[in-house]
């Protein structure tokens, strides 16, 4: 009986000693080295930001990042390959002139029917985009291989390869198109470089103003001929409907 009590007392002493040691360690950890915990937290945060930044760079394909590039980056491809055709400006001028001539013939010199329907193919849009890129002089984009795809449910896809990059990365932009106040309006929905999504604030700051300035060229052609009321997206082409706005001088 005495041996049992002695063992119990010994176990209690051991337990008490363990408790004292744990409390002392905790006390010293919290009071003695708070800077160490802060430093560890700071290093973890910095490491996280660095890894995130390296991952984003790897996603773009603009630079090769060891280990990450093979996991983060996939070579971008267009929805389909498009061969350039007749530029949009030429197509619209021809369609407007042809429609106006036909309406005058039908009205015996009077413009009684002002309805208009114009079609823009993705081949024409591709040709115009290549001309715009050639004039812009942007060297880091391969404007000679830019192309546009028009597809229901997708909208308009611009695919622009990045020049002189071994990873074959490209800029891909998805746009929705509509008619407002008689002119064409294009809104960027999604922009990617390689596998990386471009933040909306960058799209609004850089891409949208440039897009609007270039779109104004096409609208300038149309304003003299027609007011566009609606735009439908079909596979490979846009169909615009509206009214001729030409005013004929009476003799």
Q: Do the beta carbons of residue 195 and residue 61 sit within 8 Å?
A: yes
**Shared domain check, 93 and 62:** no
Last residue in a domain, options 72, 102, 117? 72
Report yes or no on 120 lying in a domain.
yes
**Shared domain check, 240 and 146:** yes
How do residues 33-74 score in pLDDT, each as one tens digit? 677 888 888 898 998 999 999 999 999 999 999 999 999 999
Beta-carbon count within 10 A of 85 CB: 16
**Shared domain check, 113 and 61:** no
pLDDT in the model for residue 222: 73
Report yes or no on 129 lying in a domain.
yes
Mean pLDDT of 121-138: 89
- The structural domain count of the chain equals 2
**Shared domain check, 132 and 238:** yes
| Residues 135, 86: Cα–Cα separation, whole Å | 17
**Shared domain check, 132 and 200:** yes
Report yes or no on 77 lying in a domain.
no
For residue 137, give its domain range: 88-244
**Shared domain check, 168 and 211:** yes
Residue 10: pLDDT over 90:
no
Q: What is the pTM of this model?
A: 0.78
Residue 153: pLDDT over 70:
yes
Report yes or no on 114 lying in a domain.
yes
| Residues 186, 241: Cα–Cα separation, whole Å | 16
Mean pLDDT of all residues belonging to the chain: 83
Q: Which long-range contacts link 180-184 to residues 24+ away (Cβ below 8 Å)?
A: 182/223, 182/226, 182/227, 182/228, 182/229, 182/242, 182/245, 183/219, 183/222, 183/223, 183/228, 184/215, 184/218, 184/219, 184/222, 184/228, 184/231, 184/240
**Shared domain check, 135 and 214:** yes
Q: Do the beta carbons of residue 219 and residue 238 sit within 8 Å?
A: no
* Residues above pLDDT 90, as percent of the chain: 43
Question: ∠ CA 139-198-67 to the nearest 5 degrees?
Answer: 85
| Residues 20, 134: Cα–Cα separation, whole Å | 78
Last residue in a domain, options 23, 42, 72? 72
**Shared domain check, 232 and 152:** yes
**Shared domain check, 122 and 17:** no
Report yes or no on 128 lying in a domain.
yes
pLDDT in the model for residue 108: 82
**Shared domain check, 12 and 114:** no
Cα distances (Å, whole numbers) of residue 5 to 14, 27, 107, 172, 238: 14, 33, 121, 81, 95
Question: Residue written as tokens 């005495």?
Answer: 2
**Shared domain check, 214 and 108:** yes
Q: Do the beta carbons of residue 216 and residue 89 sit within 8 Å?
A: no
Please give the helix or strand (H or E) that residue 223 lies within, else none. Answer: helix 208-223
**Shared domain check, 150 and 34:** no
């Amino acid at each position: 009986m005495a041996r049992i009590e002695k063992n119990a007392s010994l176990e209690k002493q051991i337990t008490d000693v363990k408790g004292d040691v744990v409390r002392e360690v905790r006390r010293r950890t919290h009071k003695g080295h708070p800077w160490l915990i802060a430093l560890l937290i700071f290093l973890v945060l910095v490491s996280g930001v660095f890894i995130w930044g390296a991952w984003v760079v790897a996603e773009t394909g603009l630079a090769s990042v060891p280990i990450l590039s093979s996991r983060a980056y996939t070579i971008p491809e267009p929805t389909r390959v498009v061969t350039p055709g007749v530029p949009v400006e030429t197509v619209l001028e021809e369609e407007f002139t042809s429609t106006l001539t036909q309406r005058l013939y039908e009205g015996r010199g009077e413009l009684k029917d002002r309805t208009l329907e114009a079609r823009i193919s993705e081949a024409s849009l591709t040709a115009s985009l290549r001309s715009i890129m050639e004039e812009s002089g942007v060297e880091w984009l391969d404007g000679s291989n830019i192309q546009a795809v028009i597809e229901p449910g997708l909208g308009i896809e611009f695919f622009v390869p990045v020049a002189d990059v071994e990873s074959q990365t490209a800029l891909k932009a998805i746009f929705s198109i509509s008619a407002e106040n008689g002119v064409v309006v294009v809104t960027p929905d999604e922009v990617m470089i390689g596998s990386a999504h471009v933040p909306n604030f960058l799209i609004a700051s850089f891409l949208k103003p440039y897009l609007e300035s270039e779109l104004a060229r096409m609208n300038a052609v149309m304003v003299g001929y027609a007011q566009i009321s609606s735009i439908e997206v079909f596979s490979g082409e846009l169909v615009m409907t509206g009214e001729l706005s030409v005013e004929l001088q009476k003799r």
